[in-house]
Amino acid sequence: MDIVFIKELCIETVIGIYDWERKIKQFVCIDLELGTDISNASNSDVIDDTIDYKAVSKTLKSFIGDSEFQLIEALAEESVKLIFEKFNVNYIKGRFSKPGAVTGSKEVGVIIERYRDST
């Protein structure tokens, strides 16, 4: 399996469990590894034969930017489900983090791995 990746995609959204968090937008940053077979694209040199990382990024920016999840876990799971629905991806490893959410740490978050047949 080949990997198409997106690193440090940061999106402003409402995220958090505290009252003050529900009133502001914070950044969620995402690293994705999208598993697929890129051999057709390697031979054709045509974007339709691979995963369009710009289209994936735009889809996530719209979805996450409009969302109001309380937990990063829920945001991560629903984001992965959306990618599976819209793109020809067999595997996703996603790192979803909230920079500066905990004093003294650079970022906190979750890493999830899913296969198409397990969603």
The total number of structural domains in the chain stands at 1
Domain containing 74 — which CATH number?
A: 3.30.1130.10
Q: Is 45 helix (H, G, I), strand (E, B) or coil?
A: coil
Q: Which domain holds residue 99?
A: 2-118
25 has catalytic annotation? no
Query: For residue 1, what is the DSSP state?
Result: -
pLDDT truncated to tens, each residue of the chain (119 aa)? 999 999 999 999 999 999 999 999 999 999 999 999 999 999 999 999 999 999 999 999 999 999 999 999 999 999 999 999 999 999 999 999 999 888 999 999 999 999 998 65
- Contact of 36 with 50, CB cutoff 8 Å: yes
**Residues 6 or more apart in contact with residue 105 via CB below 8 angstroms:** none
Amino acid, single-letter form, for residue 74: A
- Of the candidates 7, 25, 86, 98, the residue annotated as catalytic is 98
